Structure 1
C-alpha cells in the first residue's frame, strides 16, 4: 500500500509540475507577445516601430519604408548661400535677421515714453499715443530670410527638407565685409557680429539698418525618420502629426518618445524558452501515462500549445510573425499526429 501510495504521489507531483511548466511556457509567450504588440501599437503613433541603425550607418537592402534611428554629425554637401550679401556658410540652415533703428512706445503704468531701439519689424508710429516727433520709416530696405542647404547627409543617408529644418541649435555668424557685392560695399560696414548702415555704428540714427545671421551648428544628433530610398524623411501618415524627431547627442528612442512602453528584451530567447518550458511540461505529463516518455511527442504537444496561443495573439498584428507562429503550430500538430499514430 505504501509503495502504491508513493507511486501515486509521485505521479501527482509530476502531473502538477508538468501542467505548471506548460502554463509557464504559454504565459511567457503570451506576455512577450503582448508586450511587443503594445510597443508596436504605441510606436505606430510616431510612424511605426523604429529600426536602430546606430552611428553613421549606410543604406542596406530591405530598409525602404522603415522608421529608423540614426546617430551622427550632419555633413553639408551643398552649403546655403545668401545671394544678396554673397554669404555662404557651411551649415544646414542659415537665417538672415534684419533690424531697423526705430521709435518704440514704452508704457509703464499710466505713463508713456518713447525711445529709439533696434526692432525686427516695422512699428506704425500713427498708432502711438503721441505720434508727433516719433515718425518711423515706412518700409525695410531688405527683409529677413532663411536659406537651407541644398544637400545634407548623415552617414550614407540624405536628410529631407523637414529634417534639415528641424536640426537644433543656433549660433551667430561673423560676416566678412570683404565678400559683400559691390553695390553694398558703400552702404554696410561691420560692427561686432553685424553689418550696419550706420555712419557711426556706436551711435545709430533713426532708419539705420543692421543685418545679422544665425547658423545651425554641426554637432552630433539623433534623428528618427522614415527611409525613402537613401533619404530620411518625415512619416506623413503618423498619428502624432509629426512622424520624426531630432535631438542633440546620442539619444535612445525611449527618451525621444517618452510615451512608448519599454519593449521586451531578448524576444527570440524568450520565445525559445517558452517552447522549451511547454515541451518539458508535456514530457512530464506523458511520463505518468504508462511511462510514455516520447520526446518527439512532447515536442509536438508543447510546440502546439505555445504556437496556438501565440498565433491567436498575433491575429491582426504583424503578418510575418503571425505566419511564423502558424507554421510552428502546424508543424507541431503534424508531429503530434504522427507520434500518436505510431503509438497506436
Structure 2
C-alpha cells in the first residue's frame, strides 16, 4: 500500500512539475515575442525595424532596414569654393557675403537710417527718404553653399538630405595666400573673414566682407534607412523618416516612444523550448521509453512554443507569423511520426 502511494505521489509530482515547466516555457515565449512585437510596431511608425550597426559599414541582409550608427563623419570628397580657392574637410561649407549699406529703420512712427552690414541688397527705391541714402544696385558677390561629394559615418555613405541635416557650425578662417590674383588685390584678412575695407574698423558704403562656416567633424548618431550603401530618408515613416543627433546615442534617446527589444532573444527562445520540452518529458515519464520520449518531448516543446509564438505575432508582421507557423507544422509532423512509430512498437 505504501509502495503504491509512493509511486502515485511521485507520478503526481512529476506531472505537476512537468505542467509547471511547460507553462513556464510557454509564458517565456509569449513575453519574448510580445515584447518583440511591441518594439516592431513602434519602430514601424519611424520607418521599420532597426539594425544596430558597427563601423564595418553595410552588411548583407541590411538593405531596406532602418540602421542606427554612431561615429565621426569622414569626408571622402571635400567641398570646394572655387571662386576663393578654399577647400575644407567638412560635410557642408557655407559662404556668407555681406555689404555695408544704408538700412531703413522704423521705430514706431519715426524713420531713421543707418549704415550696417547686410547679406541682402537694401533697395533704396523703397526707402521713404531715398535722397542721401543711395546703395549700390547689385551685390558684387553671392552667398553660396558647398556640399561634400561623399560623407560617411561608420562606413555608411550619407544621402544628400542627411548631409544637410548634420548639426553645428564653426567659423573657418580663409588663407589669403590661396586667393586668386583678382580677389587678392581687393580682399585682405581681418579676424576670421575677408574684407575690401581699407580700414576694417571703419568700413565705408559698398565695402564687402566674406566669411565661411563649416559643419564640425564631431561624433553623431544617425538613424535612417539603408538603400544600397547609402543612408536615406524612410519615406514610409510617420515623421521625417530619419534622426540625426550629436554624440553617441541609443535608440531610446532618438526614439523615446519605441520600447527596447528584449535582450538575448535567441537564448530566451531556446530556453523557452528547453523548458517546454523538459515539461513534456516529465509528463511522458511513465511511458518508460527513454530515448524515444526525449525526441518526442523535444518535438512537443517545439510545437507548443511555435504555436504560442505564432499567435503572439498575429496582428503584427506577417513574416514572423509564417516562420513560427512553419516551426509549428514541423513540430507537429515529428510528433505524429514518432507517435505512430511508438504505437506500432
Q: TM-score by structure 2 length?
A: 0.86
Equivalent residues, number? 341
- What RMSD in Å do the two structures reach over aligned CA positions? 2.8
Which residue matches 1:228? Answer: 227
156-165 or 118-127: which moved more?
Answer: 118-127
Which residue matches 1:256? Answer: 254
Q: How does 1:15-30 map to 2 (within 5 A)?
A: 15-30=15-30
Paired residue secondary structure (1:271): helix
Mapped to 2, the partners of 1:158 and 1:92 lie a distance apart of 12
Mapped to 1, the partners of 2:213 and 2:79 lie a distance apart of 12
Residues 19 and 132 (structure 1 numbering): CA distance in 2 closer, same or farther, change over 3 Å? farther
Which residue matches 1:78? Answer: 77
Which residue matches 1:301? Answer: 300
Mapped to 2, the partners of 1:122 and 1:303 lie a distance apart of 75
Paired residue secondary structure (1:246): strand
User: Could you report, residue by residue, the CA deviation over 1:259-312 in whole angstroms, capped at 9, with x for unpaired residues?
Assistant: 21111110011111111121222223333x666763333222222111112123
Which residue matches 2:37? Answer: 37
Mapped to 2, the partners of 1:214 and 1:65 lie a distance apart of 34
2:177 is the counterpart of 1:178:
yes
Q: How does 1:57-206 map to 2 (within 5 A)?
A: 57-106=56-105, 113-125=112-124, 133-206=132-205
Paired residue secondary structure (1:104): strand
Paired residue secondary structure (1:54): coil
Alpha-carbon distance, 1:185 to partner: 2.6
Structure 2: gaps (5+ residues): none
183-192 or 1-10: which moved more?
Answer: 1-10
Residues 20 and 131 (structure 1 numbering): CA distance in 2 closer, same or farther, change over 3 Å? farther
138-147 or 108-117: which moved more?
Answer: 108-117
Asked whether the equivalents of residues 95 and 212 of structure 2 are also in contact (C-alpha less than 8 Å), the reply is yes
Mapped to 1, the partners of 2:182 and 2:252 lie a distance apart of 53
Paired residue secondary structure (1:99): strand
Alpha-carbon distance, 1:2 to partner: 6.9
Structure 1: gaps (5+ residues): none
Alpha-carbon distance, 1:132 to partner: 5.0
Which residue matches 1:237? Answer: 236
Mapped to 1, the partners of 2:289 and 2:130 lie a distance apart of 104
Mapped to 2, the partners of 1:111 and 1:4 lie a distance apart of 110
Which residue matches 1:50? Answer: 50
Alpha-carbon distance, 1:155 to partner: 4.9
Alpha-carbon distance, 1:71 to partner: 2.8
Paired residue secondary structure (2:120): coil
Asked whether the equivalents of residues 41 and 316 of structure 2 are also in contact (C-alpha less than 8 Å), the reply is no
Q: TM-score by structure 1 length?
A: 0.86
Alpha-carbon distance, 1:219 to partner: 2.5
